[in-house]
């Protein structure tokens, strides 16, 4: 059967291969949930089964304006690791901005560096600030294994410190602060520090300034 309701992703799943209770919950999600509580219950049940064929269902579940169910789904997708990436990338391209943003957050937590180009594209030109912010944060979390990719991500985050949208600037500062592959950016730390100092003293938004001051604590030495 296939879903894709509410701007989620299309996928096929053999319900007969699933335990009866799980199949019933999946069918409920595919039909378009009519109860926030029932959707949360379905998320718990499907996540608990840990069956890889249900991973696209978890991505589909990101689009129903239910943050609790979405967070349960994200945790399950992150637990799925690289098996989830294919479906999360479909989520990034779905016709639902909430799915886009949630999928990017999950990709960041998984850390697969293969998604760097998608994250950079979304950070640079995502359809709404929420998607762009999620992409920026993902760029700070990826476990890069290619220096050029890592450098490109940092350069983009530095460029986005000048973005017209204050929330994108804030997310870029946050991504630089939390950057996981610290050992790969040691050569450019002085440049990052200088830019963060500039943001901390000159940005037009007080929240961005404050966030830059916090980030500078990591770049102080």
pLDDT digits (tens, 9 = 90+) for 33-48: 899 999 999 999 999 9
pLDDT for position 119: 99
Q: How confident is the model at residue 32 (pLDDT cuts 50, 70, 90)?
A: confident
Alpha carbon distances (Å) from 179 to 73, 118, 186: 25, 18, 11
Q: Which is higher by pLDDT, 80 or 4?
A: 80
The pLDDT value given to residue 36: 95
Check whether 217 has a pLDDT greater than 60: yes
Cα–Cα distance, 119 to 194 (Å, whole number): 25
Domain ranges of the chain: 1-93
* pTM, 2 dp: 0.94
Q: How far apart are CA 18 and CA 120, in angstroms?
A: 37
DSSP states along 154-179: HHHHHHGGG-SSHHHHHHHHHHHHH-
pLDDT of 1 above 50: no
Q: What is the pLDDT of residues 85-139, one digit of tens each?
A: 999 999 999 989 999 999 999 999 999 999 999 999 999 999 999 999 999 999 9
């Amino acid at each position: 059967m296939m879903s894709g309701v509410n701007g989620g992703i299309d996928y096929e799943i053999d319900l007969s291969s699933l335990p009866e209770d799980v199949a019933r919950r999946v069918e409920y999600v595919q039909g378009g949930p009519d109860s926030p509580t029932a959707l949360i219950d379905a998320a718990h049940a499907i996540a608990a089964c840990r069956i890889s064929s249900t991973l696209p269902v978890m991505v589909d579940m990101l689009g129903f304006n239910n943050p609790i169910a979405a967070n349960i789904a994200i945790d399950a997708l992150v637990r799925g690791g690289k098996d989830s990436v294919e479906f999360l990338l479909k989520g990034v391209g779905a016709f639902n901005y909430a799915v886009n943003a949630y999928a990017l957050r999950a990709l960041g937590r998984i850390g697969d560096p293969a998604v760097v180009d998608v994250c950079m594209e979304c950070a640079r030109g995502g359809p709404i600030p929420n998607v762009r912010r999620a992409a920026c944060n993902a760029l700070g979390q990826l476990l890069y294994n290619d220096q050029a990719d890592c450098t490109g991500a940092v350069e983009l985050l530095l460029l986005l410190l000048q973005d017209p949208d204050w929330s994108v600037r804030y997310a870029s500062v946050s991504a630089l602060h939390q950057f996981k592959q610290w050992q790969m950016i040691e050569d450019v730390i002085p440049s990052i520090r200088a830019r963060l100092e500039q943001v901390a003293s000159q940005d037009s938004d007080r929240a961005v300034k404050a966030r830059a001051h916090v980030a500078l604590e990591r770049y102080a030495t």
